[in-house]
């Protein structure tokens, strides 16, 4: 019953003059064609193994190439074996790494990368959000990623949304190496945009980070080492045996399917929602990602 109804409804949606129909963003995902998805390169998948299970991170080399290259070199060099999650600040971030350890970096790590807080907007094909953004002249989506941008000033950057991953750093002008990373576990702290290098997002297991006990020291650091959450290892999927390697797809944000999804995210109207907002925050769009194996 659902699919035929959906087809009728999807056809009706193509007309801008059509009345509101009772269809949800999840319906769009459930009935999307295979052509609306793109495989994620296993060389851009970072697998963090915790005692309770794994956290999978998709890396974004097109936004912070040097920091992402560092992260890959650190993973390949087993740098994080024995690392911990040592900071969990409520409505902000969970952070992990070696925390002030003086363990040396493996080969191939750039010790003092340039900022990479933004990249040039040139060459990016942006699907616009279609709603105003409080933090930037424009917001939208590129290659499955949420971005903010200024065409006039020429920059684009990944936005600090829930589950996005950034590079911990000291006070400016330090930019961090990638050895200390954090994931957003609260309302998107967009004030960090353009002030820090963003390198990816958690696409599986963010709840393993967001449900951790909050640290009671300033900035959410754990007080005692006994509270640190051990990380068994962090590996690139491309370095794992083929049989164990996870595989994911992300919705193509240039597709017609995503355009429909985005429109419904901004205009919820179904048996639960009765008043569509007519707009949406870039962090509430949540580009669909799905597991393939």
Q: Which of 207, 217, 239, 244 is the binder for a copy of itself (CB under 8 A)?
A: 207
**275 Cβ contact partners less than 8 Å away, ≥ 6 residues apart:** none
- Are 229 and 55 spatial neighbours (Cβ–Cβ below 8 Å)? no
Does residue 163 have a cis bond before it (omega within 30 degrees)?
Answer: no
Instruction: Report which of 75, 49, 57, 53 is spatially closest to residue 182, judged by C-alpha positions.
Output: 57
Q: Which of 47, 74, 281, 289 is the binder for a copy of itself (CB under 8 A)?
A: 281
Question: Least separation, in Å, of the C-beta of 87 and a copy of itself?
Answer: 14
Q: Does 15 bind a copy of itself (CB under 8 A)?
A: no
Q: Which is nearer to a copy of itself, 116 or 193 (CB)?
A: 193
Burial class (CB in 10 A: 0-12, 13-18, 19+), 208: buried
| Helical H segments across the chain, by residue range | 2-13, 25-30, 65-76, 206-210, 256-266
Q: Does 162 bind a copy of itself (CB under 8 A)?
A: yes
Question: Least separation, in Å, of the C-beta of 29 and a copy of itself?
Answer: 15
Q: Does 210 bind a copy of itself (CB under 8 A)?
A: yes
Q: Which is nearer to a copy of itself, 108 or 186 (CB)?
A: 186
How far lies 163's CA from each of 121, 155, 224, in Å? 23, 23, 25
Question: Least separation, in Å, of the C-beta of 69 and a copy of itself?
Answer: 24
Q: Does 152 bind a copy of itself (CB under 8 A)?
A: no
Structure tokens belonging to residue 205: 């297991």
Q: Binding to a copy of itself (CB under 8 A): which residues in 79-138?
A: 88, 90-91, 117, 129, 131-136
CA atoms within 13 A on the CB side of 241: 2
Q: How many residues bind a copy of itself (CB under 8 A)?
A: 47
Q: Which is nearer to a copy of itself, 60 or 136 (CB)?
A: 136
Q: Binding to a copy of itself (CB under 8 A): which residues in 164-193?
A: 171-172, 186-193
DSSP summary character for residue 275: S
Per the listing, tokens 């024995």 go with 82
Using CB under 8 A as the criterion, which residues of the chain lie in contact with a copy of itself when the complex forms?
Answer: 88, 90-91, 117, 129, 131-136, 161-163, 171-172, 186-195, 206-207, 210-214, 265, 268, 271-275, 277-281, 283-284
């Amino acid at each position: 019953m659902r699919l035929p109804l959906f087809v009728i409804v999807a056809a009706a949606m193509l007309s801008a003059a059509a009345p509101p129909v009772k269809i949800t963003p999840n319906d769009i995902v459930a009935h999307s064609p295979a052509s609306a998805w793109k495989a994620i390169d296993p060389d851009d998948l970072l697998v963090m193994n915790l005692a309770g299970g794994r956290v999978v991170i998709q890396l974004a080399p097109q936004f912070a190439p040097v920091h992402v290259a560092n992260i890959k070199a650190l993973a390949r060099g087993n740098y994080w074996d024995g690392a911990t999650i040592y900071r969990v600040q409520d409505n902000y971030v969970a952070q992990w790494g070696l925390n002030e350890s003086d363990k040396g970096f493996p080969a191939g790590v750039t010790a003092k990368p340039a900022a990479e807080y933004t990249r040039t907007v040139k060459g990016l094909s942006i699907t616009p959000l279609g709603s105003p953004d409080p933090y930037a002249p424009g917001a939208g989506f590129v290659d499955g990623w949420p971005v903010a941008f200024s065409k006039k000033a020429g920059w684009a950057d990944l936005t600090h949304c829930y589950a996005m991953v950034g590079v911990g750093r000291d006070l400016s002008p330090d930019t961090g190496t990638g050895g200390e990373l954090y994931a957003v576990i609260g309302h998107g702290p967009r004030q960090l945009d353009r002030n820090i290098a963003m390198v990816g997002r958690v696409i599986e297991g963010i709840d393993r980070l967001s449900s951790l006990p909050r640290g009671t020291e300033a900035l959410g650091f754990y007080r005692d080492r006994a509270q640190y959450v051990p990380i068994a290892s962090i590996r690139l999927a491309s370095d794992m045996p083929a049989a164990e390697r996870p595989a994911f797809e992300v919705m193509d944000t240039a597709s017609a399917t995503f355009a429909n999804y985005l429109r419904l995210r901004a205009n919820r109207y179904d048996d639960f929602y009765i008043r569509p907002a007519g707009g949406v925050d870039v962090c509430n769009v949540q580009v669909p990602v799905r597991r393939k194996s």
